[in-house]
């Protein structure tokens, strides 16, 4: 295997040299950022290849407003359930973890079936539905089981479109997400005129993706290649897509960093409005929204998510902001660029 | 968090399958896949999101060998 990796790295070196200009390749999935850091892939790249992280960490892109609403619901006495990664994200008032310490009922779950079980005893439980297409199908399943959900679910392709529309963001190729692609397939990416490779999560998967991107750039091609065929099908997972379609409808959504993006979110269809926390707790949520006071912060998470700023360029990074005392979502989530940079790079210096 | 954990289906009861992950067995929801006993599935947050195409696993090896 070592010789194979060496061959790949050699090929990357040769192709990068032939291209001869600085290139920025963006990995769009937080787990890819982690693979890159874990395997020291950035340090293996030729000088003209820069790997930058994109908006692929679901917890990170969740808007502050949605965190504030969940905190508000919890403080109002409504039991809430949330994936572990989201519990520490600081809201304008506090995080869900702090709300729990103040007596609110906050349940951390590994998977949504645990929330369904809790709701059997506590039917008023609200689950914080967040993430991309990978987890949306699971939330749809749980809603059909009767679980109440506050949906901050997001669609991945509109974020890619928004990135490409921002002229400040210079990217020469995308490493497309692995598990999002399992659900949505490969064809959906063809609308973006940029070299793209769908990749798996091992170090060699990412190296293959980089090598394929360089080949495309060298040949002046702009296509979508699937280097994760052992799992990702051209058309995606049709059963999951049908489930999502049945329960959710497309709506505008707020993203941390990217702002409001049209038709980039998923809200619960009226057929399931009894499971929609935004309908059931409409008045309370309006009140929470009115009372949100934006807390000023020097946190650069929004810019980091767009690849405009690197984690270590943030003035808070490693000083007042660490994984033990995160000031923003990018340092909270294990997939967040700041968290990954702190754990794998800064800490090992 | 896209933890890539493939497992083999040992038993199926309705939407739930007993899945073996290298000796550790866990119950996994298989609502989103058409899977049968003996299939390898990729699991994400307690749910099977797709069946593994074992023939394709060789593809990556072939690419590395070229």
CATH of the domain at A210: 3.40.50.11750
A137 and B53: CB-CB below 8 Å? no
Look at residue A347 and tell me if it is in a domain: no
A186 touches chain B (CB under 8 A): no
Q: Using CA atoms, how far apart are residues A87 and A96, in angstroms rounded to an integer?
A: 5
Looking at domain B5-65, which of 3.20.20.450, 3.40.190.10, 2.30.30.140, 3.40.640.10 is its CATH number? 2.30.30.140
Q: Is A215 exposed, middle or buried (0-12, 13-18, 19+ CB in 10 A)?
A: middle
Q: Could you tell me if A135 and A275 lie in one domain? A: yes
Could you list the beta-strand ranges (E) of A195-322.
196-198, 224-226, 248-255, 259-268
Q: Could you tell me if A76 and A140 lie in one domain? A: yes
A204 touches chain B (CB under 8 A): yes
Number of compact structural domains in chain A: 3
Q: Could you tell me if A97 and A246 lie in one domain? A: yes
Q: Could you tell me if A218 and A240 lie in one domain? A: no
Look at residue A114 and tell me if it is in a domain: yes
- Counting one residue from chain A and one from chain B, the pairs whose CB atoms sit within 8 A come to 97
Look at residue A108 and tell me if it is in a domain: yes
Q: Please say whether the beta carbons of A95 and A87 come within 8 A.
A: yes
Per-residue pLDDT of chain A (349 residues; tens, 9 = 90+): 578 899 999 999 999 999 999 999 999 998 999 999 999 999 999 999 999 999 888 999 999 999 999 999 999 999 999 998 899 999 999 999 999 999 999 999 999 999 999 999 999 999 999 999 999 999 999 999 999 999 999 999 999 999 999 888 899 999 999 999 999 999 999 999 999 999 999 999 999 999 999 999 999 999 999 999 989 999 999 999 999 999 999 999 999 888 899 999 999 999 999 999 999 999 999 999 999 988 888 999 989 988 889 899 999 999 999 998 899 889 988 889 999 999 887 655 5
- Which H or E run includes A289? helix A282-291
* Whole-number pLDDT of residue A249: 98
Buried/exposed A316-341: b ≥16 CB within 10 Å, e otherwise = bbeeebbbeebbbbbbbbbbbbbbbb
Q: Using CA atoms, how far apart are residues A324 and A182, in angstroms rounded to an integer?
A: 33
Q: Could you tell me if A241 and A287 lie in one domain? A: yes
Look at residue A161 and tell me if it is in a domain: no
Domain of residue A96, CATH code: 3.40.50.11740
- The residue segments making up the domain with residue A313 are 301-339
CB neighbour list of residue A134: distance below 8 Å, 6 or more residues apart? A179, A180, A182, A183, B2, B44, B49
Q: Could you tell me if A307 and A286 lie in one domain? A: no
What value does the CA radius of gyration of chain A take, rounded to a whole number of Å? 20
Q: Could you tell me if A108 and A123 lie in one domain? A: yes
Look at residue A314 and tell me if it is in a domain: yes
Q: Could you tell me if A241 and A122 lie in one domain? A: yes
Q: Could you tell me if A109 and A7 lie in one domain? A: no
- Report the residue from B3, B60, B65 with minimal CB separation from A230: B60
Q: Could you tell me if A139 and A245 lie in one domain? A: yes
Q: Could you tell me if A72 and A30 lie in one domain? A: no
- Encoded tokens for A63: 């808007």
CB neighbour list of residue A301: distance below 8 Å, 6 or more residues apart? A60, A256, A257, A314, A328, A329, A330, A331, A336, A338
A248 touches chain B (CB under 8 A): no
A201 and B4: CB-CB below 8 Å? yes
A137 and B50: CB-CB below 8 Å? no
Q: Could you tell me if A95 and A217 lie in one domain? A: no
* Cβ neighbours of A113 in B, within 8 Å: 29, 46
What is the distance in angstroms between the CA of the first residue and the CA of the last residue of chain A? Answer: 27
Q: Using CA atoms, how far apart are residues A54 and A169, in angstroms rounded to an integer?
A: 10
Q: Is the ipTM of this complex over 0.85?
A: yes
What is the distance in angstroms between the CA of the first residue and the CA of the last residue of chain B? Answer: 32
């Amino acid at each position: 295997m070592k010789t194979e990796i060496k061959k790949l790295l050699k090929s990357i070196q040769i192709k990068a040299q032939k291209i001869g200009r600085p290139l920025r390749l963006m990995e769009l999935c937080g787990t890819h950022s982690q693979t890159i850091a874990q395997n020291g892939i950035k340090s293996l790249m030729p000088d003209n290849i820069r790997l930058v992280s994109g908006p692929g960490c679901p917890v990170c892109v969740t808007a502050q407003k949605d965190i504030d609403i969940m905190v508000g619901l919890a403080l109002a006495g409504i039991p809430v359930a949330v994936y572990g990664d989201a519990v520490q994200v600081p809201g304008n008032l506090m995080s869900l973890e702090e709300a729990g310490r103040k007596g609110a009922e906050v349940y951390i779950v590994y998977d949504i079936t645990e929330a369904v079980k809790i709701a059997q005893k506590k039917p008023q439980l609200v689950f914080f539905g967040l993430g991309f297409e990978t987890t949306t199908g699971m939330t749809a399943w749980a809603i059909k089981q009767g679980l109440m959900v506050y949906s901050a679910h997001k669609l991945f392709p509109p974020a890619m479109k928004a990135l490409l529309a921002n002229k400040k963001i210079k990217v020469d190729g995308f490493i497309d997400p692995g598990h999002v692609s399992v659900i949505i397939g490969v064809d959906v990416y063809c609308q973006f005129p940029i070299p793209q490779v769908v990749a798996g999560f091992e170090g060699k998967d990412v190296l293959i993706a980089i090598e394929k991107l360089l080949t495309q750039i060298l040949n002046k091609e702009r296509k979508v290649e699937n280097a994760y065929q052992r799992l990702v099908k051209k058309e995606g997972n049709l059963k999951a897509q049908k489930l999502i379609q049945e329960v959710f409808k497309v709506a505008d959504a707020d993203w941390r960093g990217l702002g409001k993006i049209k038709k980039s979110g998923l809200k619960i269809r009226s057929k399931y409005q009894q499971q929609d926390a935004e309908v059931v707790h409409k008045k309370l949520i309006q009140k929470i929204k009115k009372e949100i006071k934006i807390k000023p912060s020097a946190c650069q998470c929004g810019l980091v998510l767009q690849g405009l700023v690197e984690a270590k360029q943030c003035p808070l990074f490693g000083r007042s902001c660490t994984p033990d005392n995160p000031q923003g979502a990018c340092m909270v989530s294990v997939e967040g660029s700041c968290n990954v940079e702190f754990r794998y790079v800064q800490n090992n210096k | 968090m896209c933890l890539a954990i493939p497992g083999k289906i040992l038993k199926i009861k309705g939407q739930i399958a007993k899945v073996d992950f290298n000796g550790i067995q866990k119950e996994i929801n298989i609502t989103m896949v058409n899977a049968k006993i003996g299939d390898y599935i990729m699991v994400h947050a307690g749910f099977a999101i797709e069946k593994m195409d074992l023939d394709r696993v060789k593809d990556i090896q072939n690419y590395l060998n070229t």
